[in-house]
Chain A
Amino acid sequence: MSTTYNVIGTRPVRHDGADKVTGRALYGADLQLARMIQGAILRSPHAHARILRIDTSKAEALPGVYAVVTAADFPPAPADKIVDFGEGDTPLSSLRGNILASGKVLYSGHAVAAVAAVNAHVAAEAAALIEVDYEPLPCVLTAPEAMAPGAPILHEEFANGNVADQIRYEMGDLAAGFAQATLIVERELDTATVHQGYIEPQNATAFWSSDGRIHIWCSTQGSFVARDATAAVLDVPVSQVKVTPMEIGGGFGGKINVYLEPVAALLSKKAGRPVKLVMSRRDVFTGTGPTPGSRVRVKIGVNDAGKITAAQSWLAYEAGAYPGAMVVPGAMTVFACYDIENVLIEGFDVVVNKPSTAAYRAPGAPNSALATETVLDEIAEKLGIDPLELRLRNAAKEGTRRADGPRYKRIGCVEVLEAMKASPHYNAPLPGPHCGRGVAIGFWFNAGLPSSATLSVNADGTVNLIEGSTDIGGSRTSLSMQAAEVLGLRAEDIHPTVVDTDSVGYTGVTGGSRTTFSTGLAVHDAAQMVVEQMKARAARLWAVEAVEFANGVFSANGQSLTFAELAAQLGSTGGPVSCSATVNPKGVGGSIAGLIIDVKVDPETGKTDVLRVTSVQDAGKAIHPAYVEGQMQGGTAQGIGWALNEEYFMDNSGDMRNGSYLDYRMPTALDLPMIETVIVEVPNPGHPFGVRGVGEANIVPPLAACANAIYRATGKRLNRVPMNPATILGL
């Protein structure tokens, strides 16, 4: 009983496509303004040190330098002020502390001072002239070490040493559950710090005008969050800041936090000119949020029927320099795919001398799923059950209670597992020796949060769409398609524009897989309002009470007008039609993703070749299937890089030794095969078209799927990610 749509489910060319293939689209670093000058940031060479003295006089004296700022240039503010951006609270001191260090530096790469000069070269020369006296302190780089007694302490004011936060979920009777088990498997796995790796470095241009208004141009996942954070850091009202979002070259969670915006603003205030700051690639690696390294233990008990009787997990995630390690979502998702009665989960958010971590696609979930999904693989093997069958026997369903409390509404876990089982890939033989096939699944919640949209009808029958969700992967089009579906138009009849924070209602980040869902809902609601107003115009024109609207045609009593025909008559029936909607929706639908992967491991070199990959995900409803596939393929590729190769390689002093793309080595076109996709559609009852959001769950399974495939190829259960040749050969 699937609904039929005219536009939804088709694959139109994106509205911003021509600009993006011809080089016309303007990304943050492309901005040129009259009198604009450029900046550079001085970063700490120490992972942990007290700042004794900063002398900026030589930098200020260099010809061509306009301004130098340090943390001393922040306006005074109460140290304990809590800033709430609608998802979690951050103390202002942490927010500021990460932007420009004061008192201590907490990681190698921590920003200490900034310079604005006539060009970037002079700014870099001037930054090198800033003298900073440090008193180096011992550093601590991993969660287990940071939790040990006697570890160097990052924040003396914390009550529990380096443990910034703790979380615990419990359900049922754990001991009784394990007592019922006939097989118990327990494993502990570590993952390394990895980076989101977006190709476009962070950038921000700011102009602090003489009237006190601050205009920011930047590449951000959320212009309103960037506005609010900048205002909080600078202690000015939000209305004093306007953020114009430029095109954004990838984010994956890493472009939600602000790093440069307030610094550019402070420099601009001193210099009286617009100031542009652009990070180098090394700055991106060492100065922006990677995702946490982690240690996760999982213990699962099953009975002879393969039913899980109890599950326990202990998680310690590295927050980096400031709290917020994503251990909470890690803990919430560790068993989220399964229906388990007896559960205990304990999580620890641990600060270490690494860059402050940020969200990365289903943040926290890949780390914990790695442990659960490899333990389940081992259980399936020991019980002699197909690994997908074992998962099916325990799959979460509507009504299943998660360990953090709530029960699932409609969820596609069984459907995803069935689709994996039925896929041609799963039923194909492996190509030869040293090959192995691994499977795993994962869950992400997705998010709601506020979104706004305005639709204005043009006299030619097209519609302008104004929205505030920055477009990272085609959301202009997936939103336009939802408007077009309601209005009976074609996707090309909608003209979407992403505007600045003064020009549209509040809109949350493009993150949490929420844009197609939440902004989509705002667009849907605004479109319905347009339909109602247009009906009223037709009713006025025909002097009738009720007007029907279907497939883009208004009709009553045998008369009819197409949308375009009626649009042409708006002027004479009361004036233009324009409708806005702002939503803050419930009805978020979580997404389950699964991965099947075949690898071949060279027994001599330990190198893993990826032979075949199939990504399966519940989209709810795929608005633009090509973009859904793109999300699945992108998340899968990132997950494979994370599983097999990527890591922050830090020396004992906390210096990142592989802070370039050459040495960090993300997957290239040559490292991957085609990535097959299977879109499962279990409509989300909370969205008019059934949308769930597909940006994140796809990165959850690859770590475990790779581990399981490598086990089947080599007979080795590895306890560390990345599973690079050194790990595989046990070096």
Chain B
Amino acid sequence: MTDTDDILRVNDLSTRFFTEQGQVNAVDELELRIERGEVFGIVGESGSGKSVTARSVIDLIDAPGEIIDGEIWFDDAELAETVREDAPDAVDGSFVDLLSVSPAVRQSLRGTSFSMIFQDPESSFNPSLTVGEQLAEAVEVQRRASANPRSTKAKTDSAEYSFGNLLLSTVLPSQQFVTEESRERAIELLELVGIPDPVERADEYPHEYSGGMLQRAMIAQALAGEPDVLIADEPTTALDVTIQAQILDLLDDLQTETGMTILLITHNLGVVARMCDRVGVMYAGEIVERGTLEDVFDDHVHPYTEGLLGSIPELGGANGQLEPIGGNVPSLLDHEMEDRCHFADRCPMAMEDCLDHPPEFDAAGSEAHTVRCVLATQSYTEREALPPNYFGDTERPAGDKHAEPAHSDGEQPAERTRTTISDSGGESR
């Protein structure tokens, strides 16, 4: 391993979704390195696999999705010590491969090592519990973990979670799993993220909060376990323009204060420019260009990055779907993916060499700058250009986003494929 202070090294990560239409390669042999204390951004359109990448890291991939291959090395000496006995192969120095440890260990890392904030705060809170209660719950996770460090048993098999108690918790205002201290800590956290009157607001329900306030509360909730890595999945997309900047400021301040690492998922290059140290541009399940902020903004090579930058919205500008480049959203269906540059069908500079899947080439700029495009090694020549319509007119309308079935940005998760009458009302006219 190199001597950079990496906190997370992702090797060869492949996450697949096994759907009706076929196998979807949402994330394909992805490599990722994130340094301790940095803000790493992953940017891309809907369906590029950026959300799935984030969820793979924190282990929130639900059926029909599955991480089928790869390693996620996480630097945590203490964890490495405990895991070493049971699974020596999963440990390398102070690094632990999260995909080789038991599910219980992985589960125990949520909240305390990794934590996540989501795009839509309104649907990310349980509507029938108070915000304070839900925060206190998260605090409790941390409390239990530190009471009995790294023992996963302490968190899952506690005698308090007896069947009877659990049943009661469905009926009674659920007090029994949360202590007074956790409640107080929850109020502190609300105060920390700048919610006025935190004592009163803690007793309110999510629907009584505004979107921005609720996003603050969600950040507070994510901080409850004092995580090493915070994953922010489109944290501002659902918010008003003016609120967006406030939330980013808040994240920025908190990051400076706690020194935590942030993995920021966004489609908005404005947000990236504002927040990140390094960036990866994702397309069709791969990182097609990566490097420092300067590399990507000033020295970019990939035409896709170019396209994204060409349509960069002002921060606080257009908040809609980012459709920077003409053409179709890529299909991630295994049987439709060819072994070529996945962007070739939309690329204005596609050439014959692009029909071979390009590896990651080093590019000018910083050491970390790589790009998955033949333009890194040769320049565009008219002579080798593919004829227009080379890929035929297989129109795949941009609305057809089976590309990233689970949790594409702003879309329903794939499980909810059932159509409701109100959805389809328009069609029966």
Q: Do A and B come from one complex?
A: no
